[in-house]
Amino acid sequence: MEKRKLGKSGLEVSAIGFGCMGLTQSYPPYPSKKEAIDLLAKAVDLGVSFFDTAEIYSLFQNEALVGEALFPYRDQVIIATKFGYDTQNLVMDDSNRPISLSSRPETIRLAIEGSLKRLKTDRIDLYFQHRVDPDVPIEEVAGTIGRLVTEGKVLHWGLSEASEKTVRRAHAVLPVTALQSEYSMWYRKPEEGMLDTLEELGIGFVPFSPLGKAVLTGRFNTDTTFQQSDFRSQIPRFQPENLKANLALSDYVQNLSREKETTPARIALGWLMAQKPWIVPIPGTKKVERLVDNVGATEIAFTKDELAHIKAQLDHMEIIGSRYPKEQEQLTGI
């Protein structure tokens, strides 16, 4: 598979990564442990070398699964995980998602030791602050991570869902390798300044939910409903009336896929990668056929005229509803 470097850091990863969260959290039904391990092995076989998890995903279970699955390939892959929640004193919101942030030095120390053990490794290749903690200066967080880098426990670090101002402050203390935030045809806010900031500073970008939580794949229609255990049931954009309006974007992507004789997923992922050479999306999946489909996006190319036309069309499409429940939205962009 094509490789990409995350900014100026020199960290080289597969052009398409694998977001592991959905294997154990947010989007049921979940695969069995064996199915998940086999899927991750298949991803490695297809050339995927970049895998993303977090300690908070299913409260340690996702990391443990990823650690077991990737142990045989440890020296072939780049593993990213995240810190930033007080896992010893978790507080959950109405959607049963954690809101108890903590990036205090002692919390980070506890987090790194746990992650290393669960991931069966002696180093974290890319360590993200999951959400910015407004109670701990980002300079202090960078200092703590810098000490972990010196100790060899962390090789690179990054931020998730941070503001441009916070990225700059963090980078001034300890060079940031990558920012992980949502970005897709479904959510384009990073184009409003963040991409320019990252390019200026030489920081890579790892978009999560690059398929718009599957809406860009064409899987949903006006009759689609989500069970209560599915996180999308809590998201305003996926509420029935909003989804009906938002399916215009899904229809557009499907039309593009027919024109280019490919699939909607490959259009959405290929479009993302065409924005900047240092963008590496991390779609998640639970099925081998969708994994193969996602990996095939590296073969999709767009001309400048095609990209300009797509931008013009997207600029005229209004997406109805916020991308997170109110409590979760408050934890982003700090």
Pairwise CA distance, residues 131 & 155, whole Å: 20
Nearest CA to 264 out of 276, 275, 255 is that of: 255
What residues are annotated to the active site? 57
Q: How many residues can be counted in the chain?
A: 334
User: Which helix or strand (DSSP H or E) is residue 52 part of?
Assistant: strand 50-52
State the alpha helices, DSSP H only, in the chain: 33-45, 61-70, 105-118, 138-150, 164-173, 194-201, 240-259, 264-275, 288-295, 304-315, 326-329
Q: What letter does residue 317 receive in the DSSP assignment?
A: P
The answer to whether the beta carbons of residues 250 and 218 sit under 8 Å apart is yes
Taking the mean position of all CA atoms in its chain, how far away is CA 169? 22
Side chain identity, residue 255: N
Nearest CA to 59 out of 107, 21, 94 is that of: 21
For the packed helices 304-315 and 264-275, what is the interaxial angle rounded to 10 degrees?
Answer: 100
Taking the mean position of all CA atoms in its chain, how far away is CA 200? 22
Taking the mean position of all CA atoms in its chain, how far away is CA 179? 9
The answer to whether the beta carbons of residues 306 and 334 sit under 8 Å apart is no
The structure tokens listed for 166 are 């916070």
Pairwise CA distance, residues 50 & 302, whole Å: 24
Q: Please name the residues in contact with 5: beta carbons below 8 A apart, sequence gap of 6 or more.
A: 11, 12, 13, 204, 278
